[in-house]
Amino acid sequence: MKAGAKRRSQGGPSLGSSRLITYALVGLIVVLVGYYVVLPAVVPRSTATTTTSASAGDVKFNTSSDISGASILLTATNLAPNQNVTATFGPAPLQLVNSSTGATSCSTNDKGDISGCMFWVPKASSGSYSVVLTAGTTSGVARFTIPRYVPPVSTVLVTTTSVLLGLVTQVVTKRVVDLDAERRMRAEVNAFQKEKRAATLAKDKEKLDKLKKRELAVQQEQLRVQRARLKVTAVTFVPLLVVYYLMASFLGGYGVIVAFTPIPIPIIAGATQHAGVYNVSLVWWYFLSSFAFSTMLGRLLHTTP
């Protein structure tokens, strides 16, 4: 019994701790599903009137979801050639602008294509709208979504969710990883590497032979401790993706804009669609927030290696 108790005290978390971790993860998923799925289904949402049209042409936007006032670039193909283009946003007329000349009209080329055309998202309630382009007797239709929540509300929602998920990750880390053993292992590895460098510089062959015999044991201990970190990553990565999916469904799409930055950031925030600011989509803001707050919480809770 004493040997078993000793193994439990040295072998990591107890059965109760494992159950606590499971309950915490299940509780988090229940709360998030309730917040992002059940609550939107119960609370009435404003609905948008949509129109339908025969879709002979193919219409695309540089982003299919944004807030009112954003400038949206569009392209279209397979419309009637050499025709002026009119547009509607839901039931209302939509003003098109030539992004190169500033003219308040766009037209198809001799192949029936449109490029370099834009429009500003009109003021409307949240929802999905049909944007219909008409050129002569042909038309094309695409869907555009005005999200229910816009910055700064969406920014706060995503950031708060990232903080909560980061907190759960750190709690799991404290329960799963033997932090004291990890610190001892790192100190031992550092001391071993320092001793090995000194023996190498001194060309002490006898010392190097002794260290070589110890090296395998040190590596095995290092691997054993690292496995616990890998378990935490495996356990928390799936909820990270699940939460991302739930937020995308709740906020209006995987590429929905949830934050703005005053400076361009390559790949992350490089498309200007609002005066003086750059867009940051859900995927980038969520994963950047998760990484940043996990790092800060790790330092505060002393779980960082």
* pLDDT tens digits, 151-172: 889 999 999 999 988 888 888 8
> Helices 205-251 and 282-300 meet at what angle, rounded to 10?
130
Question: Taking a C-beta distance cutoff of 8 angstroms, is the pair 72, 61 a contact?
Answer: yes
pLDDT of amino acid 238 = 81
* Residues in CB range of 155: below 8 A, 6 or more apart: 258, 259, 285
Confidence of residue 11 (pLDDT cuts 50, 70, 90): very low
Alpha-carbon span 95 to 101, nearest angstrom? 15
Residue with tokens 């050129």: 135
Q: Is the pLDDT of residue 117 over 90?
A: yes
Going by C-alpha positions, the residue among 142, 125, 123, 124 that lies closest to residue 134 is: 142
CA distance 239 to 242: 5
Paired with 89 in beta bridges are 92, 131
Alpha carbon separation from 295 to 10, 125, 282, 299 (Å, rounded): 27, 38, 20, 6
Would you say how long the chain is, in residues? 305
Q: What is the pLDDT of residue 40?
A: 55
pTM (two decimals): 0.59
β partners of residue 164: none
CB burial string 35-74: b at 16+ within 10 A, e below: ebeeeeeeeeeeebeeeeeebbbebebebbbbbeebbbbb
| End-to-end alpha carbon distance in the chain | 33
Residue 265 tokens, joined: 């950031």
146, 248 contact by CB (below 8 A): no
Q: What is the DSSP track for 269-287?
A: B----BTTBEEEEHHHHHH
Highest mean pLDDT among 27-41, 94-108, 273-287: 94-108
What domains does the chain contain, in order, with CATH numbers?
14-41+151-300 (no CATH), 58-146 (2.60.40.1930)
Q: What is the pLDDT of residues 42-57, one digit of tens each?
A: 444 444 433 334 457 8
Task: Report pLDDT for 129.
Answer: 94
Q: Which residues contact 48 (CB under 8 A, 6 or more apart)?
A: 90, 124, 125, 126, 127, 128, 129, 146
Res. 193 pLDDT band, cuts 50 70 90: confident
Residue 260, by phi and psi: left (phi above 0), alpha (psi -120 to 50) or beta?
beta
**What is the band of 70 on the pLDDT scale with cuts at 50, 70, 90?**
confident
Closest CA to 47 of 166, 180, 169, 146: 146
- Contact criterion met (CB below 8 Å) for 61 and 120: no
Separation of alpha carbons 61 and 70, rounded Å: 12
pLDDT for res 10: 44
Residue 147 has pLDDT above 70, yes or no: yes
H/E segment holding residue 234: helix 205-251
> What is the average per-residue pLDDT within 77-89?
95
pLDDT tens-digit readout, 28-39: 666 665 665 555
Residue 25 has pLDDT above 70, yes or no: no
Helix (H) or strand (E) holding 238: helix 205-251
> Taking the alpha carbons of 228, 233, 234, 236 in that order, is the dihedral positive or negative?
positive
CA nearest neighbour of 90 among 60, 49, 53, 123: 49
Helices (H), 34-177: 39-42, 153-176
